[in-house]
Chains A and B, each alone.
Chain A
């Protein structure tokens, strides 16, 4: 089993739709959680950190459920520019690195 698992996707949604991604992690001692987006043939870029109380940044909402060991990302009012691969990233406690999910591909269509 992979340490960080994401919805395989792809997600194809119309503009304006709401879409949600989930990510589960296996290491219960994981401490920090992030969502990144990666455009084709580019490096990942930080979308948002995920906090225990949940957090929102414009159309994006991230939530963390430690008991069930998953994090989620909700995108409201999807834009064409939201088309990308979304990566779930988990920081392993006592390890100086992060683990990435395989990513979920989102395509927003007109």
Chain B
């Protein structure tokens, strides 16, 4: 149980384009999902908390207009990297959990490369 699916697993795009990443909870409903970013040899950094039916909560330093989050249903959250630049190249991972004290279950991540 508690499977989280993320798509695509890898994307290469040109600078200036936008990229959408999907995160789905396959066998449970997730009112909250989390988006992380990880640069090589660094730890996971929380970008934002995605809340179903309301606005996402962004961490300090994360531009909400650049990283658009939509959580329109209890099983789907999307992260759109708008006007991507090479410095946005990173490993983006989403996660969700069954309850506030439950462990996080992660999607398999999306490796974004902006050329």
**Residues of A with Cβ closer than 8 Å to B?**
31-32, 34, 41-46, 49, 87, 89, 91, 96-103
Q: How far, in angstroms, from A89 to B44 measured CA to CA in the complex?
A: 11
A32 adjacent to B101 (CB under 8 Å): yes
A44 adjacent to B43 (CB under 8 Å): no
Q: How far, in angstroms, from A31 to B100 measured CA to CA in the complex?
A: 10
List chain A residues, Cβ under 8 A from B91: 41
B107 adjacent to A97 (CB under 8 Å): no
CB-based A-B contact count at 8 angstroms: 46
Chain A's nearest CB lies how many Å from the CB of B101? 5
Chain B's nearest CB lies how many Å from the CB of A70? 18
List chain B residues, Cβ under 8 A from A96: 32, 49, 100
- CB closest residue in chain A, given B100: A96
Give the residues from 1 to 55 in chain B that come closer than 8 angstroms, CB to CB, to chain A. Answer: 32, 34, 42-44, 46, 49
A43 adjacent to B107 (CB under 8 Å): yes
Q: How far, in angstroms, from A89 to B101 measured CA to CA in the complex?
A: 12
Which label, helix, strand, loop or mixed, suits the secondary structure of the B interface? loop
- CB closest residue in chain A, given B94: A43
Nearest first, the 6 A-B pairs at minimum CB distance are A102-B43, A43-B106, A43-B109, A100-B44, A32-B101, A46-B103
Chain B's nearest CB lies how many Å from the CB of A83? 16
A43 adjacent to B108 (CB under 8 Å): yes
A98 adjacent to B108 (CB under 8 Å): no
A41 adjacent to B111 (CB under 8 Å): yes
B101 adjacent to A31 (CB under 8 Å): yes
Q: Counting CB contacts under 8 A, is B112 at the interface?
A: no
B42 adjacent to A102 (CB under 8 Å): yes
List chain A residues, Cβ under 8 A from B107: 43
List chain B residues, Cβ under 8 A from A41: 91, 111
Q: Counting CB contacts under 8 A, is B76 at the interface?
A: no
- CB closest residue in chain A, given B34: A97
List chain A residues, Cβ under 8 A from B84: none
